[in-house]
Amino acid sequence: MELYRFLSSPWFAVILFLILPLLWLLSQSKSRNERPIHNLPPSPPRLPFIGNLHQLGKIPHRSLWKLSQKYGPVMLLRLGQVPALIISSPEMAKQVLKTHDLECCSRPYSYGAMKLSYNLLDVAFGPYSEYWREIRKLCVIELFTVKRVQSFGHVREKEVTRMINSISDLSHKPIEVNEKIFSLTNNVICSIAFGKSYEGQQFEGYGKFQEAIDEAMAMLSSFWVADFFPKYGWVFDVVTGLHRRLEKLFRNFDGFFEKVIDEHLGPNRPKSEHEDIIDVLLGLSKDKTASVKLSRDHIKSILMDIFIGAIDTSSLTMVWAMTELARNPRVMKKVQAEIRKIVGRKPKVSENDIPNLKYLKLVVKETFRLHPPATLLLPRESMQNCKIGGYDVPANTRIHVNAWAIGRDLNTWKDPHEFNPDRFEESEVDFRGGHYELIPFGAGRRICPGLMMGTTAIEFTLANLLHCFDWEVPNGVKREDIGVEEEAGLTVHKKYPLHLVPIKVMKKVQDEIRSIIGRKPSVPEIEIDKFTYFRLVVKETLRLHPPASLLIPHETIRQCKIGRYDVLGKTRVLVNAWAIGRDPKMWDDPEEFRPERFEGKDIDFKGQNFEYLPFGSGRRMCPGINMGLTSVMFVCSNLLYCFDWKLPNEMKPEELNMEEEFGLNIRKKVPLHLVPIKYNWENFKG
């Protein structure tokens, strides 16, 4: 995107027509001395000076995918003066990331990355070296182990609960899902790294934290002329103002890190129950036997990696997952049914539930296949000549592995463009670096060390969003119109924000009643026919809890046939309306309380639909349906209209006793105690 902007700017015209011819002549005189390598990979034709840069287009992973369909899964491009190998199939990815991992595991030089990583002291952008091996080992062992990730469970629990509560307040109103998810991930990562979330606080020079992170991602994905024209390009980066932007960003991040580290070292800092990443790194910096003696700059470079590596990638994956689920109601229903079956009536999913949520894991896998956040991974660089797919690849070649294209490889995936997590049901394929058809985290020596931290947060957050709410598209939007357009950068964002409406039954009913009635002392009986959603709630209640569970006993007056069988006269007949309302052949997820199941369906309790008989049917059908229904709707709508309702004494919803007491009518065995809270009309949002 940044490159595209640059290519269409006046600066580019100046470079193209005035200066680059000269540089090209200079570079030609040098390249004549290069040792020829004979069997180079196929290349699309190039333009003078810029090589294939113009073919990267607005969205490079898509443009490269198209080129690979013509030139094959191993292509050699020339980006300015830099040779770049593009890999687009699982087999070739395996050659780079496994067979020739050692020869191909350095990182190319990039000005933005060098600055932000404190001169390549970090893990992500540092070139392969003895130092890099040690610092990566240290981070993997100390920061990214399963134990360490689990130790941050309290942060995830706290922040996800806060997010769910804030969404509950907006139930039934469209929310911007991206915004909620990004702010949650930001809070989680800040709490893990720095010990507090910094929610609502400003990041000096940028306003919100998210804006500083966006700027960091922009700096890393910007088109630095110096990266592709190494000798002279920096002049243009200075003139176009990129240097100035980067310096400002670096100064502000550095100032922030300094302040937080000082706070951690301050003598008055209250002792915290839990260690954060800075505590761990400061502890390591005192270790005299460590292979790398950690300085402040080392610590700051690692904090920068976490900031850049963790927030965008995890948030984007969740936004794409919610987008695909909103577009695919079958999958949404299936994954919610699984979560609700396993979690039951607990209000929230806990981290202990996650290993049992098998289908949710497939949803995450499928999201990674179609939307790997780092579509081209991070660029690698070959350190010596090697052979990939039978072609010679010279040393110092940039390598881009197109994980996005590999996730759509026609030879690997059936209907690759379809979002269908079921494809993984009988499959061993995983994203942990052993299956080259699915590599959202890369593989080999450079595989993402934050894999566990990222997936734990993604699965836990999604499970809660899907358990606590049903999700509808806003009025007037069709599911199939929810866009999947991308916006390219170091990670690939959804171009347009995702708006969805979270639904909670109690709140939805109350909102319906209050918005129809407005501010009055109570609900007039004459209005109750207008409550369409509330009527569905009553219907669903009568399905799960028909008061006369066996109706009133019938008796045959003469012999007749029921099914294939003869039934004698004077036989007592009990019709189990309770069991019929739970018949799995008739009802999806029958134990679940979901009023929406009646939406748009003709099923009613008037005795014509035999899967649903709370009032019976036929000659003995209850003649008081209307009177009964009116009084239920009138009384309950008033209770819901006038009060909000809370469980007493911090009781949790799953602790509500739902036992029944048998009789002619089925009662609740234990009385229901609730705390009424007079509704405050100041909170009414219309």
Binding-site annotation, residues = 448
- Mark the segment that binds ligand HEM (CB under 6 A) among 1-9, 87-95, 371-379, 600-608: 371-379
Taking the C-alpha atoms of residue 500 and residue 323, their distance in angstroms, rounded to an integer, is 9
Burial class (CB in 10 A: 0-12, 13-18, 19+), 437: buried
- Is 90 a binding residue for ligand HEM by CB under 6 A? The answer is no
- Is 440 a binding residue for ligand HEM by CB under 6 A? The answer is yes
Quote the least distance from Cβ 428 to ligand HEM, whole Å: 20
- Is 60 a binding residue for ligand HEM by CB under 6 A? The answer is no
Taking the C-alpha atoms of residue 327 and residue 494, their distance in angstroms, rounded to an integer, is 14
> Is residue 542 helix, strand or coil?
helix
Name the residue nearer to ligand HEM (CB basis): 51 or 440. Answer: 440
Identify the residue among 233, 373, 421, 614 touching ligand HEM (CB under 6 A): 373
- Mark the segment that binds ligand HEM (CB under 6 A) among 85-93, 325-333, 438-446, 577-585: 438-446
- Is 306 a binding residue for ligand HEM by CB under 6 A? The answer is yes
105-140 burial string, b = 16+ CB within 10 Å, else e? bbbbbbbbbbbbbbebbbbbbbebeeebeebbebbe
- Is 374 a binding residue for ligand HEM by CB under 6 A? The answer is yes
Taking the C-alpha atoms of residue 222 and residue 245, their distance in angstroms, rounded to an integer, is 11
Q: Cβ of 229: how many Cβ atoms within 10 Å?
A: 24
Name the residue nearer to ligand HEM (CB basis): 324 or 472. Answer: 324
Sign of the Cα torsion 60, 61, 65, 71 reads: positive
Sign of the Cα torsion 534, 536, 541, 542 reads: positive
- Is 449 a binding residue for ligand HEM by CB under 6 A? The answer is yes
Token pair, residue 364, equals 């995450």
Taking the C-alpha atoms of residue 171 and residue 90, their distance in angstroms, rounded to an integer, is 44
- Is 309 a binding residue for ligand HEM by CB under 6 A? The answer is yes
Name the residue nearer to ligand HEM (CB basis): 378 or 636. Answer: 378
- Mark the segment that binds ligand HEM (CB under 6 A) among 179-187, 301-309, 404-412, 513-521: 301-309
- Is 86 a binding residue for ligand HEM by CB under 6 A? The answer is no
- Mark the segment that binds ligand HEM (CB under 6 A) among 109-117, 437-445, 477-485, 664-672: 437-445
Identify the residue among 117, 313, 382, 549 touching ligand HEM (CB under 6 A): 313
Quote the least distance from Cβ 574 to ligand HEM, whole Å: 55
- Is 442 a binding residue for ligand HEM by CB under 6 A? The answer is yes
CA 550 to chain centre: 46
Token pair, residue 436, equals 């080259």
Name the residue nearer to ligand HEM (CB basis): 222 or 301. Answer: 301
Taking the C-alpha atoms of residue 412 and residue 76, their distance in angstroms, rounded to an integer, is 23
Name the residue nearer to ligand HEM (CB basis): 157 or 589. Answer: 157
Within 99-158, which residues bind ligand HEM (CB under 6 A)? 123-124, 136
- Is 307 a binding residue for ligand HEM by CB under 6 A? The answer is no
Q: Which of 37, 635, 656 is nearest to 384 (CA)?
A: 37
- Mark the segment that binds ligand HEM (CB under 6 A) among 159-167, 305-313, 327-335, 540-548: 305-313
Name the residue nearer to ligand HEM (CB basis): 171 or 313. Answer: 313
Count of residues interacting with ligand HEM (CB under 6 A)? 25
Token pair, residue 100, equals 């020739």
Identify the residue among 106, 117, 317, 420 touching ligand HEM (CB under 6 A): 317
Quote the least distance from Cβ 380 to ligand HEM, whole Å: 6
Identify the residue among 294, 453, 463, 513 touching ligand HEM (CB under 6 A): 453
Taking the C-alpha atoms of residue 604 and residue 583, their distance in angstroms, rounded to an integer, is 16
- Characterise 79 by phi-psi region: left (phi > 0), alpha (psi -120 to 50), beta (else): beta
- Is 94 a binding residue for ligand HEM by CB under 6 A? The answer is no
- Is 551 a binding residue for ligand HEM by CB under 6 A? The answer is no
Angle (CA) 532-537-538 rounded to 5° is: 95
- Is 454 a binding residue for ligand HEM by CB under 6 A? The answer is yes
Q: Cβ of 17: how many Cβ atoms within 10 Å?
A: 9
- Is 181 a binding residue for ligand HEM by CB under 6 A? The answer is no
Per-position x/- string for 579-618, each x denoting binding to ligand HEM as judged by CB under 6 A, each - no binding: ----------------------------------------
Q: Which of 367, 378, 323, 364 is nearest to 495 (CA)?
A: 323
Name the residue nearer to ligand HEM (CB basis): 56 or 123. Answer: 123
Q: Cβ of 224: how many Cβ atoms within 10 Å?
A: 27
- Is 461 a binding residue for ligand HEM by CB under 6 A? The answer is no
- Mark the segment that binds ligand HEM (CB under 6 A) among 52-60, 370-378, 470-478, 600-608: 370-378
- Is 310 a binding residue for ligand HEM by CB under 6 A? The answer is yes
Taking the C-alpha atoms of residue 400 and residue 270, their distance in angstroms, rounded to an integer, is 47
Name the residue nearer to ligand HEM (CB basis): 117 or 617. Answer: 117
Quote the least distance from Cβ 356 to ligand HEM, whole Å: 21
552-582 burial string, b = 16+ CB within 10 Å, else e? eeeeeeeeeeeeeeeeeeeeeeebebbebbe
Q: Which of 130, 124, 184, 171 is nearest to 490 (CA)?
A: 124
DSSP string, 13-41: HHIIIIIHHHHHHHHHHHHTTSPP-SSPP
Name the residue nearer to ligand HEM (CB basis): 320 or 359. Answer: 320
Name the residue nearer to ligand HEM (CB basis): 46 or 445. Answer: 445
235-255 burial string, b = 16+ CB within 10 Å, else e? ebbeebebbebbeebbebbbe
Taking the C-alpha atoms of residue 668 and residue 658, their distance in angstroms, rounded to an integer, is 7
- Is 446 a binding residue for ligand HEM by CB under 6 A? The answer is yes
Name the residue nearer to ligand HEM (CB basis): 158 or 545. Answer: 158
- Mark the segment that binds ligand HEM (CB under 6 A) among 165-173, 254-262, 444-452, 551-559: 444-452
- Is 41 a binding residue for ligand HEM by CB under 6 A? The answer is no
Name the residue nearer to ligand HEM (CB basis): 465 or 542. Answer: 465
Q: Which of 41, 37, 35 is nearest to 390 (CA)?
A: 41
Per-position x/- string for 475-514, each x denoting binding to ligand HEM as judged by CB under 6 A, each - no binding: ----------------------------------------
Quote the least distance from Cβ 536 to ligand HEM, whole Å: 38
Structural contact between residues 530 and 635, judged by C-beta atoms closer than 8 angstroms: no
Quote the least distance from Cβ 314 to ligand HEM, whole Å: 5
Q: Which residues are annotated as a binding site for heme?
A: 448
Token pair, residue 587, equals 């009802």
Quote the least distance from Cβ 611 to ligand HEM, whole Å: 44
Alpha-carbon distances of 214 from 306, 308, 507, 638, rounded to whole Å: 14, 9, 35, 48
Token pair, residue 203, equals 């990041």
Identify the residue among 249, 294, 326, 377 touching ligand HEM (CB under 6 A): 377
Taking the C-alpha atoms of residue 265 and residue 183, their distance in angstroms, rounded to an integer, is 27
- Is 407 a binding residue for ligand HEM by CB under 6 A? The answer is no
Binding site for ligand HEM (CB under 6 A): 123-124, 136, 305-306, 309-310, 313-314, 317, 373-374, 377-378, 380, 440-442, 446-450, 453-454
